[in-house]
Copies of this chain bind each other. A is one copy, B any other.
Amino acid sequence: MISWVENGDPRARSVLRDLKPPQARTRVIGLTGAPGAGKSTVTSALVRAFRARGRRVAVLAVDPSSPFTGGALLGDRIRMQEHATDDGVFIRSMGSRGQLGGLAAATPQAIRVLSAAGYQVVLVETVGVGQAEVEIASEADSTVVLVVPGMGDSIQAAKAGLLEVADVLVVNKADRPDTQATLRDLRHMVSLSTSDWKPPIVPTVGTTGDGVDELVGRLDQHDAWLESSGELARRRLARARDEVTALVLGTLAKHITVPDELAARVAEGRCDPLEAAGELLDSAVTFKELGCRDRRPPGQASPPGTG
């Protein structure tokens, strides 16, 4: 089912439409941070901690960096092998090819599938530090941003806007010498925040599991705050809006065709691209004229593959 979502298979549509919302809410926890921050190790430690609390846990490892290979993340899956024989744990990598609306649309679809399949916790791990990662992190109810000791990484994280999406900050590899300085930097950055929720800062050592129980506790606190403050409802509404927008744009993107003659005029400098875009919008007044899928009459089921 996730493969269908990932590949934009039309069969995904009918199954997604018929999925029942789960009885209990699924907690979606995002993990992001620079390469080498130890995301897989911390994710694996979190899986262990949630399993010890009796929850069924799914891990989505999302790699938005590769338009070409689909991002196998084999190394990460190998590192999580300890959970391979536990049928309360599901681990899946997702690349960025093929989906209507990109990962911004495919990730929530996959989360919905996992939720319907009875996973109570979904950990969404993203690779790298970029705008795509920030967007995927924003699909989560709680976002954990990992940095490692050493000033470079926290600056890098700040530059990428990751600190602004952090609900919990983790300084992983906290057995390294620079840990205190990094904690101090981050505390200073957090003290400047004006939001209602000040992200707690948790030092961890993913490889030994040190600090992971505190991390789970902080995540529970954040989850309780999300519910009590009304922030959860607000975030879910904003996400629904973003997801629908991404799908609409994805549909439109598939159907925009720049005529050869117009492209040639732009390429030769005889027409400014902004003018060309205006011309295209002027000429294609309706979606249908833009080449969009046939609109079905109201009330009639759509044939497969038209989504």
Whether A209 sits at the interface, judged by CB under 8 Å, is no
Cα distance A64–B65 in the bound complex, in angstroms:
12
Complex CA–CA separation, A8 to B298 (angstroms): 39
The closest CB in chain B to the CB of A129 belongs to B65
Q: State A273–B243 Cα separation when bound (angstroms).
A: 7
Residues of chain B within 8 A (CB-CB) of A21 are 268-270
* Cβ contact of A287, chosen from B13, B270, B285, cutoff 8 A: B285
> Is A272 a contact of B17 with CB atoms below 8 Å?
yes
Considering the complex, which residues of chain A in the window 248-278 have a beta carbon less than 8 Å from any beta carbon of chain B? 248-249, 251-253, 256, 258, 262-264, 266-270, 272-278
Among B19, B251, B263, contact of A241 (Cβ-Cβ < 8 Å): B263
- Kindly identify which residue among B65, B240, B280 contacts A266, using a CB–CB cutoff of 8 Å: B240
Q: How far is the CA of A16 from the CA of B19 in the complex (A)?
A: 49
Quick check: is A245 within 8 A (CB to CB) of the other chain? yes
* A267–B238 CA distance with the chains assembled, in angstroms: 8
Could you say which residues of chain B place their CB within 8 Å of the CB of A176?
A: none
Which of chain B's residues has its CB closest to A165's CB? B68
- Chain A contact residues (Cβ within 8 angstroms of B): what range? 35 or more
A249 touches B249 (CB 8 A): yes
Across the interface, which residues of B come within 8 angstroms of A284, CB to CB?
287
Bound-complex Cα distance A129 to B128 (A) = 8
- A117 touches B (CB below 8 Å): no
Contact of A282 among B159, B243, B252, B295 (CB under 8 A): B295
CA distance A216 to B256 in the complex (A): 38
Contacts of A108 in B (CB 8 A): 273
Contact A66 B241 (CB under 8 A): no
A132 to B64, CA, bound (A): 10
Contact partner, A240, options B35, B164, B263, B298, Cβ 8 Å: B263
A233 nearest CB neighbor, chain B only: B267
Q: Nearest Cβ distance between residue A303 and chain B, in whole angstroms?
A: 12
- When distances are taken between beta carbons in the complex, the residues of chain B under 8 Å from A35 are 156
- CB < 8 Å: which of B13, B253, B267, B282 contacts A245? B253
If A262-B244, A285-B287 touch, does A132 touch B129 (CB 8 Å cutoff)?
no
Q: Is A118 an interface residue (CB 8 A)?
A: no
Additional A-B contacts beyond A237-B263, A240-B273 (12; CB < 8 A)? A16-B272, A35-B156, A64-B130, A65-B131, A66-B160, A96-B131, A236-B267, A237-B264, A240-B267, A241-B263, A245-B253, A248-B280
